[in-house]
Structure 1
Amino acid sequence: MKQRFLHIWLIFFIIIFSIFPTLQVHAEKNAEVKNVIFMIPDGFSASYATNYRLYKGKEAVWDTMLVGMHRTYSANTPVTDSAAAATAMATGFKTNNGMISIAPDGKKIKTILEVAKEARKGTGLVATSTITYATPAAFGAHVISRKDESEIAVQYLDNEIDVLLGGGKTYFTSLLESGKQKGYEIVTNKTELSNVKMPQKLLGLFAIEGMVPELDRHLTSEPSLEEMTKVALKMLNQNKAGFFLMVEGSQIDWAGHDNDPAWAMKDIEAFEKAVEIAVDFAKKDKNTLVVIAGDHDNGGMSVGAYDKYDAKLDVLRKVKSSGRYMEMQLDKNRSNAKEILKKHAGIDLTKAEVKRIEQADKPVIAINRIVSERALIGWTTSQHTGVDIPVYAFGPGSELFKGLHDNTDLPKMMAKVMGVNFP
């Protein structure tokens, strides 16, 4: 009898422990989502993801979080710019290229950041461009033209976004005293940022215009995207109601415009470090959703090129400076091109390649094309393309992002998991 009783209890415990993981997963899916961290690698597509995996030599942190894709077209063209793409990702509505969170008919459209603020959540924007550039602007401002960065800066401070970190000092010069009166602590370099004592509001302006490429950051006192993300999360986590934070790896896009593969890979690496900070935060917090999605592709980058079934991304690991920086090191006649490419890219130029740089209308393009050829990376354009973009998600609510979506679906799903009212 006793043996039979023990046998029954043993079966009971086996059943309970076999379903426990399922119960745990279900609980995590239905956990309260107080915080959303939206991370945008600007200009990033599947080809960038593949080349970065080859460059790194192993999977990126987001590879296991791939859940779907999204379409990027704008209201007036199949190929979007960053303003229209970010507007869709911030408001859930399509607009024309160049417009910032304003519909084609001129009406302002409420953003996911503004809705989070109405719910008394903390709000933040982090970017390596000017903080007033198209992508961050779409979450915190409304202007007809993305070029109106001075007005965007005014709207940020009027809306009292809690954390603003990036470049763009020039657009805040006349606003700094007003910012201090509104309670912003203002920091201008890496050391000041690391010494912040957790004020209620923080404005970090680390460059006159955009910040430098990650390849060249060691030449400056600018913080990394990882460091800015870490401080932003500490700041916003003070809000008991939760927060919405947008973090942009802005210069992946700029590298695409320059067709600079080494700059692109290094800035993706910097973005990945910021993602790791966000995911670690979400793992510990248990009620934070992390969403990662580029806004569009840039450059039409290929994996392999020049009639060869191969890719040599290891070439890019030897590159120590951006093409723009290497161009700046050329002398007046560009007679030192061979020395510059050897020093900064580990490349021994042929006589024909030296001549290409010496005779080029834009030496930076010639330099970047030579580096791309060595790495077997091709480019179809120096502008955006209209391909679909990968979507990655981690944390409670991530299952909503499975499948092929429109970019306008992303903020709607974020609002749903946060439980906030969205138009």
Structure 2
Amino acid sequence: MMTAALLLTVAASAAKLQVYPYSGASFVPGQRFDLRVEAEDVKGFKDAVITLDGKAVSGLVKTTTKDTSVEWTLRAQSLTAGEHELAVKFTDENGEATKSAKWTVVPATKAKAKNVILFIADGLGWNTVNAAKLVAYPYNPANGMPTGKLAMETGLSSMATVTTSSYDSALADSANTASSIATGQKIQVNALNVYNDNTADTLDNPRIETITAMLKRSMGKSVGLVSSAFGTDATPAAFATYTRRRGDYQAIADQYFKGDVKPDVLLIGGSRDFIPSTAPGSRRKDNTDWIEGSQKLGYQFVSTRSELNAATGNKLFGLFNIDNIPSYLDRAQYKTKEMLGDFTDMPYLWDSTKKAVETLDKNPNGFFLMVEAGMVDKYEHPLDWQRAVWDVLEMDKAVAWAKDYAKTHPDTLILVTADHAHSLSVYGGYDATKGPGKREAVGVYEKAGFPTYGDKRDENGFPLPETSRTYAVGFAATPDYCETYLGRKVFLDPTVSNGKTGAEAAYLPNPKICDEGSVQRVGNLDPGSAQGVHTADPLPLFVFGPGAENFSGVIDQTEIFFGIARALGLDATKNK
């Protein structure tokens, strides 16, 4: 009995092993990754044997991050098609520990598509798609039938429902979800295309190569990134950069021009991370000026819609605000000084999509373009459903343009999806003639009637949000806030800080909104939450063109990556 107890004690104190890439990961042939093996709780290291498919792995770099750990790293590895297994046998004074990881490399297939246009509306769950359609194409009051569909819903080659998760959580953020689309891997929350490690440095983590890097390296394709969010935000960054912390904005900006992707077209929102620290609004810690530096690298720089539409360069870099590009409603309808500041000539998403495609199309090898409607999410967080939904409509017009382009370029695959969902739901109608915040103005079932969107439209043909009958729209995951049911021309956060620190810090309903006339909602999030949060709800995936058969049914988000790779016939064992 004493011997058994001693053995259990030794086993319990054996070193803890971690292997990256994680067991169960899949790759495309030649996709590069950094191998990382970590041993923690080490006492008196003796020996380690690391084998891949039964053969010793050579070239590993051994480090000791702290007294109780040992690590081995091997950068830029890749595998051929098939099944592979990494095995680790570790020995220290406490005995032996073992760990294995099994990986699958999916065989390459024959190409069906030459180009890919990937639309990502940040936060676009199924309910947000439906809300946009209900606004754009109200039901006919004569027969209750819909009057139309969104461009993303019509002429489909295929469609799917997409499930999301993080490596370390059932719920997801934009960094890890966009990274899953870019790499085919599960990634930790807040990380961009890297696995975790045991060091404090967020830029030294083991990397997994993105589809954009592989398409450039192995097929010579051009790459474009378009986003209405600030330029170093998670979704565009996921297709060109690597870091454990999505807030490494300066490093992300630098990697756009120094990394392994170097997008040929980069049309994004804020300039904060691309201008020197001495410039107003900059958050850099140095004097790097990427506006000037990009032009030395051959980029044509544009900063307004007019300049963008007139651009003729082979490579484009565009910054159109100091921060995020304001919502479609602010740019096209409200046009208030409070929301636009001095930026009165910003492009619409369809302008940027069109110019990006025209520029990338000059490459005979084809292109990959990611277009993000980044502000959908940034207005769902603060529960501003009108601004979020009209930004979906803005993207949908860009989708319509892309579909027209594909008619004359039938080798173009178009996908429309999201990174994650929000808890938005249309649950009733609202009689706006009764004013804001009237609970009795909410109608359900036959009392909801038919909203009157479209009675007035703007110059782009979009309905105005101000109409006599609207929708009652709410969110499931919220802080305490005041509900008015109606929008406003100047954005307001739903909450304000109580001014306290530590354990007493909390957020309260914004009194400016409450004073407009409102119903106070009791939230279901921690009092320290200022806004709504992402959900685990599934996402839409609408697909048009060659290779669409790779996307159908209910799929995991990582499968989007492999579907695109199959459609393009990607074999990254080759170098262009």
Q: TM-score, normalised by structure 1?
A: 0.77
1:247 aligns with 2:396: no
Distance 1:402 1:233 in 2: 26
For the residues of structure 2 that align with 1:369 and 1:285, how far apart are their CA atoms? 51
The partner residue of 2:560 within 407, 410, 418 is: 410
**Matched residues in 2 for 1:367 and 1:245: separation?**
43
Q: Greater helix percent: which structure?
A: 1
Return the offset for 1:166: 1.2
2:356 is the counterpart of 1:232: yes
The verdict on how the C-alpha distance between 1:72 and 1:363 changes in structure 2, with shifts beyond 3 A counting, is farther
| 1:34 is aligned to 2:114 | yes
Paired residues of 1:260 and 1:368 also in contact (CA < 8 A)? no
Q: Aligned match of 2:163 in 71, 74, 84?
A: 71
1:184 aligns with 2:184: no
Alignment match of 1:44 (pick from 87, 105, 124): 124
Q: Return the offset for 1:303.
A: 2.2
**CA deviation vs aligned residue, 1:118-137 (integer Å, no higher than 9, x gap):** 12101000000012110010
Q: Which residue of 1 aligns with 2:237?
A: 137
Identify the residue that residue 395 of structure 1 maps to in structure 2.
Answer: 545
Q: Give the equivalent residue in structure 2 for 1:214.
A: 328
Equivalent pair of 1:258/1:365 in contact (CA under 8 Å): no
Q: 1:365 to 1:293 in 2, by over 3 A?
A: farther
Give the aligned residue type for 1:193: L
Residue identity opposite 1:140 in structure 2: A
- Which one of 298, 302, 309 corresponds to residue 425 of structure 2? 302
Identity between Structure 1 and Structure 2 (%): 32
1:59 aligns with 2:149: yes
- Residue aligning to 2:510: 361
- The structure with the largest strand share of the pair is 2
The structural deviation recorded for 1:100 is 0.8
In structure 1, C-alpha distance between the alignment counterparts of 2:267 and 2:165, rounded to whole Å: 28
For 1:270, which of 391, 394, 402 is the aligned residue? 394
Q: One-letter code of the match for 2:216?
A: K
Name the CA shift for 1:67/1:116 in 2 (closer, same or farther; >3 Å). Answer: same
**Larger RCO (alpha carbons 8 Å, 6+ apart):** 1
The amino acid across from 1:86 in the alignment is A
SS in structure 2 of the partner of residue 103 of structure 1 = coil
Structure 1 gaps of 5+ residues are 1-29, 321-337, 346-358, 373-380
- Summarize the alignment of residues 96-175 of structure 1 with structure 2, pairs less than 5 Å apart: 96-105=188-197, 106-118=205-217, 119-159=219-259, 160-173=262-275, 174-175=289-290
Q: Which residue of 1 aligns with 2:308?
A: 193
1:176 positional shift: 2.2
Query: What SS does the corresponding residue of 1:267 show, helix, strand or coil?
Result: helix
C-alpha distance in structure 2 between counterparts of 1:315 and 1:196, whole Å: 36
Kindly provide the CA deviation profile for residues 227-274 of structure 1, in whole angstroms up to 9, marking residues without a partner as x. 000000000000000000000011111121121121122101100011
For 2:119, the aligned partner's letter is M
Q: State the alpha-carbon separation in 2 of the partners of residues 276 and 216 from structure 1.
A: 22
Amino acid at match of 1:418: L
Contact residue 261 and residue 368 of structure 1 kept, 8 A: no
Residue deviations 1:110-163, cap 9 Å, x none? 111111111210100000001211001001000111111111111111142100
Distance in 1, Cα, partners of 2:535 & 2:570: 33
Cα deviation for residue 75 of structure 1 reads 0.8
Structure 2, unpaired ranges of 5+: 1-109, 138-147, 198-204, 276-288, 336-343, 429-441, 455-462, 467-483, 491-507, 522-530
Shift of the alpha carbon at 1:361? Answer: 2.6
Kept in 2: contact 1:93–1:408 (CA 8 A)? yes
Preserved contact between residue 283 and residue 395 of structure 1 (Cα < 8 Å): no
The answer for the alignment partner of 2:58 in structure 1 is none
Which range moved further: 97-106 or 82-91?
A: 97-106
SS at structure 1 position matched to 2:562: helix
Deviates more, 1:95-104 or 1:83-92: 95-104
Counterpart Cα distance in 1 of 2:325 and 2:518:
24
Letter of the 2:316 partner, please give it: L
Q: Distance in 2 between matches of 1:389 and 1:342?
A: 26
Given that 1:93 and 1:103 are in contact with CA atoms closer than 8 Å, whether structure 2 keeps it comes out as no
Q: Secondary structure at the match of 1:205?
A: strand
**8 Å Cα contact 1:67/1:399 also seen in 2:** no
Look up the match of 1:223.
347
Please, which moves more after superposition, 217-226 or 34-43? 217-226
CA-CA distance at 1:362 after TM superposition: 5.4
| C-alpha distance in structure 2 between counterparts of 1:366 and 1:103, whole Å | 47
The one-letter amino acid paired with 2:512 is P
Aligned partners of 1:35 and 1:242 also within 8 Å: yes
Q: How far apart are the structure 2 equivalents of 1:46 and 1:175?
A: 38
- CA distance 1:367–1:247, shift in 2 (3 Å): farther
CA-CA distance at 1:177 after TM superposition: 2.3
Going from structure 1 to structure 2, the CA distance change for 1:312 and 1:94 (only over 3 Å counts) comes to farther
The 3-state SS of whatever aligns with 1:392 is: strand
TM-score (norm 2): 0.58
The two structures, once aligned, show a CA RMSD in angstroms of 2.7
Amino acid in the other structure paired with 1:50: N
Are the equivalent residues in 2 in contact too, given 1:319–1:344 (CA < 8 A)? no
Structure-1 separation of matches of 2:449 and 2:561:
36
- How far apart, in 2, do the equivalents of 1:369 and 1:244 lie? 46
Q: Aligned partners of 1:47, 1:314: CA distance in 2, in Å?
A: 20
- Judged with a 3 Å threshold, the aligned counterparts in structure 2 of structure 1 residues 405 and 239 are, in CA distance, closer, same or farther, namely same
Q: What one-letter code is carried by the residue in structure 1 that aligns with 2:272? A: T
Rounded to whole Å, the distance in 1 between the matches of 2:517 and 2:537 is 23
Moved over 6 A (4+): 365-370
Matched with 1:19 is: none
Q: Shift of the alpha carbon at 1:308?
A: 2.3
Q: Aligned partners of 1:311, 1:74: CA distance in 2, in Å?
A: 41
Q: Deviations along 1:208-241, whole A, 9 cap, x unmatched? A: 1111111111432100001000000000000000
